[in-house]
C-alpha cells in the first residue's frame, strides 16, 4: 500500500548546542515522501524514501538561516535535497530501530534512529492515517558539515552532535477514480 506524508501534521526538527550552553532549535518546512507500508500496525513492513528541501531550513534567525544554507553548511544551491532512504525497521522492545541511508551534500552515511509507533486510525473523513516519531542523534562532521569556531576554554561554537526528531503522519493513498464514460460512448452510438 502506498502512503503520502501529511505536511500539515509532520515536523522535521533538529537541535544543536551553541557555545556549549544554549540549545538552538530548527526545522525543515518542506518534506515529501514516497513510502510503502503493507500493514499500518506493523512498521517493519515499511519501505521508501523521505526527501527534505534543504532551503526550507529555519531556526528563527535570518542571519543564522542564511549561514546554514551557505557553503559552510548545507550549500543548498548546489545540494537542494536531503534524502533518507529506508533500509530496515526492526523491533526493539516497545519501539523500533529504523536504519537508512542519509544523504547530505552528496555524502551518504547509514544512520539508525529510534521509532515510536503511534498506531493507525481512520479519520472522520474515512481516510486511513498512521503516525509515529523518529528520534536520534548524528555527528554532523560525518556528512562534511565541519564548520566551527574554537572557543578559548577548549569548546566549540556549534556542537558536533545534532539531535533529530521527526514526528510524522501518513495518509493511505486512495486509488484514482476512473473517469465516467459518456453515455453513447460506451455503446459506440454517434449523434
pLDDT tens figures, 100-156: 999 999 999 999 999 999 999 999 999 999 999 999 999 999 998 888 777 777 766
185 domain-assigned: no
Cell of 50: 523521505
Cell of 82: 536531503
Name residues whose C-beta falls within 8 Å of residue 46's C-beta, 6 or more positions apart in sequence: 35, 36, 37, 38, 86, 89
Count of domains for the chain: 1
Q: Identify any residues that bridge with 131 across adjacent strands, giving them in sequence order.
A: 119, 169
Give the per-residue pLDDT at 135.
Answer: 97
Query: Confidence band (pLDDT; 50, 70, 90) for 12?
Result: very high
- Residue 36, CA distances (Å) to 44, 49, 58, 141, 182 in order: 11, 9, 29, 31, 35
Element (H, E) at 41: none
- CB distance 169 to 125 below 8 Å: no
On average, the pLDDT of the chain sits at 89
User: What is the three-class DSSP state of 9?
Assistant: helix
What range defines the domain where residue 29 resides?
A: 2-12+24-148+164-172
Give the per-residue pLDDT at 66.
Answer: 94
187 domain-assigned: no
51 domain-assigned: yes
157 domain-assigned: no
Cell of 58: 529555519
| pTM score, whole prediction | 0.85
**CATH number, position 143:** 2.40.128.110
Query: Confidence band (pLDDT; 50, 70, 90) for 191?
Result: very low
Amino acid at each position: 500500500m502506498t502512503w503520502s506524508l501529511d505536511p500539515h501534521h509532520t515536523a522535521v526538527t533538529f537541535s544543536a548546542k551553541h557555545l556549549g550552553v544554549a540549545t538552538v532549535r530548527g526545522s525543515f518546512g518542506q518534506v515529501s515522501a514516497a513510502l510503502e507500508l503493507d500493514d499500518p500496525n506493523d512498521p517493519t513492513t515499511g519501505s521508501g524514501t523521505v526527501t527534505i528541501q534543504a532551503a526550507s531550513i529555519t531556526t528563527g534567525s535570518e542571519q543564522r538561516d542564511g549561514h546554514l544554507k551557505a557553503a559552510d553548511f548545507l550549500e543548498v544551491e548546489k545540494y537542494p535535497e536531503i534524502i533518507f532512504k529506508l533500509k530496515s525497521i526492526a523491533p526493539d522492545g516497545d519501539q523500533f530501530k529504523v536504519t537508512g541511508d542519509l544523504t547530505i551534500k552528496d555524502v551518504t552515511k547509514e544512520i539508525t534512529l529510534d521509532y515510536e509507533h503511534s498506531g493507525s486510525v481512520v479519520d472522520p473523513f474515512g481516510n486511513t492515517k498512521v503516525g509515529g516519531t523518529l528520534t536520534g542523534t548524528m555527528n554532523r562532521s560525518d556528512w562534511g558539515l565541519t564548520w566551527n569556531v574554537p572557543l578559548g576554554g577548549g569548546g566549540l561554537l556549534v556542537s558536533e552532535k545534532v539531535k533529530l526528531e521527526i514526528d510524522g503522519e501518513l495518509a493511505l493513498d486512495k486509488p484514482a477514480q476512473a473517469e465516467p464514460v459518456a453515455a453513447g460512448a460506451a455503446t459506440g452510438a454517434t449523434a
